Amino acid sequence: MNAPEQAPARIDLGAEFRDAGIGEVLDALERDLVGLAPVKRRVREIAALLLVDRVRQRLGLATEHPSLHMSFTGNPGTGKTTVAMRMAEILHRLGYCRRGHVVAVTRDDLVGQYIGHTAPKTKEVLKRAMGGVLFIDEAYYLYRPENEKDYGQEAIEILLQVMENQRDDLVVILAGYAERMERFFESNPGMKSRIAHHVDFPDYSDTELGEIAQRMLAGWNYRFDEAARVAFADYIVLRRRQPHFANARSIRNALDRMRLRQALRLFESGATVDAEALTTLTEADVRASRHFQQAAA
Amino acid sequence: MRITQGCFSFLPDLTDTQIAAQVNYCLEQGWAVALEFTDDPHPRNTYWNMWGLPMFDLRDPAGVMGELKACREANPETYVRINAFDSTKGWETVRMSFIVQRPTAEPGFRLVRQETQGRMLRYTMESYAVGRAPEGARYAP
């Protein structure tokens, strides 16, 4: 009788980590995203768990295929989609995801408009997402308890079935506001029990938002001068008090408007410009925002 | 008589793993994969029944394999084939087509000789299965 192939008794976790190439992804996550310390920690934990699981499997220690479905909760603009992309990359490198692409959908892409329309629509999306990550933004809209004829429930049931039976083909990430997701899970216990990892995205602090603004501007080849930097810090404080504050997304929109004002200022001044003038946002560009006027009034 | 049409038909039947590998190749070429089934396998019958629409924008064969499983369950004892369309050039055309399910017994075709004017003969082919039963009952065991 042939002896079973001798499994290696010791495995170097460090080498395993390097070979998988997830180190770079985790480093990039650490480097490219400002703040979000608890999220980065969770992603690291999940990556470590998957790596250890893989090693255990090699040693012949039985491990069930881990459930990888996740829920990302947090306010708008806190980086849920960005982290989902990185997560897909990590899962791909560890071999838990064959392609590592992300299909981002909302209720409209899953739920049909008339009877019999929902199932083919949901299945079509699921087929496209196979081998990658299905990212469902604002997942709680799938379930509308106030309308019992709503087709969302049908989409949820198809989703649940695939989440359970084709765990190695598809990873589902649900995203949305924390409280509403909580309510969604309460009314869909099946969904809650199939999701292994809950990751909470905290709001950014004012300094972190300032840092984000600097990085965005650097990416577009712009910069604040000293006075503008101070003015923008004030702006963040004022903007946060306003309704519909969407963290990094609000910052990007604000910067877009400031670029508009800068362009108009340069244009109307009629003077010749140099690269310095074209790349600098001044205090005036920042202070012209309506939030300053409202605060002054 | 084993019917040979499309790719791989002179090889033993492909296993599901092999089918998935072929589908993977098609998807990597950017082709759209479609499933079709019929119980009239005459070589001139190009119009088989479509199983759903061609699947565009897929990245992984798992989606196709799921549909194939459903198609086989709904249509046992029929021919099922996978077609891969290439739409990248503007002229949509089938780049690859292969049979992925066939009935357990394939009675084959008979040669029909029709005598016409003089001593002329017209030849044509007729499927035993199609001749003996209407659509849907042709290959029933």
| Average pLDDT in chain B | 92
Give residue A156's pLDDT.
92
* Residue B10 contacts residue B4 (beta carbons within 8 Å): yes
CA distance B62 to chain A (A): 6
CA distance readout (Å), A293 to A296, A297, B86: 5, 6, 58
CA distance A41 to chain B (A): 30
Q: How far apart are CA B117 and CA A223, in angstroms?
A: 93
Question: Strand pairing of A171-176 and A70-74?
Answer: parallel
* Residue A153 contacts residue A143 (beta carbons within 8 Å): yes
In chain B, whose CA is at the least distance from the CA of A102? B59
Q: Which residues of A touch B61 (CB under 8 A)?
A: 130-131
Give residue B57's pLDDT.
87
* Residue A32 contacts residue A18 (beta carbons within 8 Å): no
* Residue A110 contacts residue A148 (beta carbons within 8 Å): no
- Burial zone of A297 (CB within 10 Å; 0-12 exposed, 13-18 middle, 19+ buried): exposed
- In chain A, the largest separation of any two C-alpha atoms, in whole Å, equals 91
pLDDT higher for A29 or B73? B73
Residue of B107, B105, B95, B93 lying closest to B7 (CA atoms):
B95
DSSP string, B113-138: EEE-STT-EEEEEEEHHHHHS-TTST
Question: What H or E segment, with its residue span, contains residue A223?
Answer: strand A223-224
- Cβ of B59 within 8 Å of Cβ of A127? The answer is no
Contact partners, residue A25, CB within 8 Å, separation at least 6: A86, A89, A90, A93
* Residue A118 contacts residue A151 (beta carbons within 8 Å): yes
Q: Which residues of B touch A131 (CB under 8 A)?
A: 59-62
Q: How far apart are the first and last CA of chain A?
A: 90
Residue of B97, B89, B122, B139 lying closest to B5 (CA atoms):
B97
pLDDT in 10s for each residue of chain A, 297 residues: 444 455 566 777 777 777 777 888 888 888 888 888 888 888 888 888 888 888 888 888 877 777 889 999 998 888 898 899 988 988 888 888 888 899 999 999 999 999 899 999 999 999 999 999 999 999 999 988 888 788 888 999 999 999 988 888 899 999 999 999 999 998 888 888 889 888 999 999 999 999 999 999 999 999 898 999 999 999 999 998 888 888 999 999 999 999 999 999 988 888 788 888 889 898 888 888 888 888 777
- Cβ of B59 within 8 Å of Cβ of A99? The answer is yes
Give tens-digit pLDDT for B5-41. Answer: 999 999 999 999 999 999 999 999 999 999 999 999 9
In chain A, whose CA is at the least distance from the CA of B56? A128
A98 part of contact set with chain B, CB < 8 Å: yes
Q: How far apart are CA B90 and CA B57, in angstroms?
A: 16
CB atoms closer than 10 angstroms to residue A18:
12
Residue of A108, A129, A106 lying closest to B55 (CA atoms):
A129
Give residue A3's pLDDT.
47
In chain A, whose CA is at the least distance from the CA of B52? A120
A136: three-class secondary structure by DSSP: strand
CA distance A68 to chain B (A): 18
Q: Which residue type is seen at A286? A: V
Substitution target from B35, B55, B56, B59 for chain A, most A beta carbons within 10 A: B59
- Cβ of B63 within 8 Å of Cβ of A127? The answer is yes
Q: Which residues of A touch B59 (CB under 8 A)?
A: 99, 101, 128, 130-132
Contact partners, residue A84, CB within 8 Å, separation at least 6: A72, A102, A104, A133, A135, A173, A175
B109: three-class secondary structure by DSSP: strand
Tokens read off for A54: 């893989």
- Cβ of B60 within 8 Å of Cβ of A132? The answer is yes
Q: Which residue type is seen at B32? A: A
Q: How far apart are CA A136 and CA B107, in angstroms?
A: 50
- Cβ of B59 within 8 Å of Cβ of A132? The answer is yes
Give residue A6's pLDDT.
54
- Cβ of A169 within 8 Å of Cβ of B62? The answer is yes
Is pLDDT of B92 > 80? no
In chain B, whose CA is at the least distance from the CA of A170? B62
Q: Which residue type is seen at B24? A: N
A125 part of contact set with chain B, CB < 8 Å: no
Substitution target from A99, A109, A122, A127 for chain B, most B beta carbons within 10 A: A127
CA distance B14 to chain A (A): 22
CA distance readout (Å), B81 to A245, B7, B86, B93: 54, 10, 16, 16
Q: How far apart are CA B101 and CA B103, in angstroms?
A: 7
Question: What H or E segment, with its residue span, contains residue B72?
Answer: helix B62-74
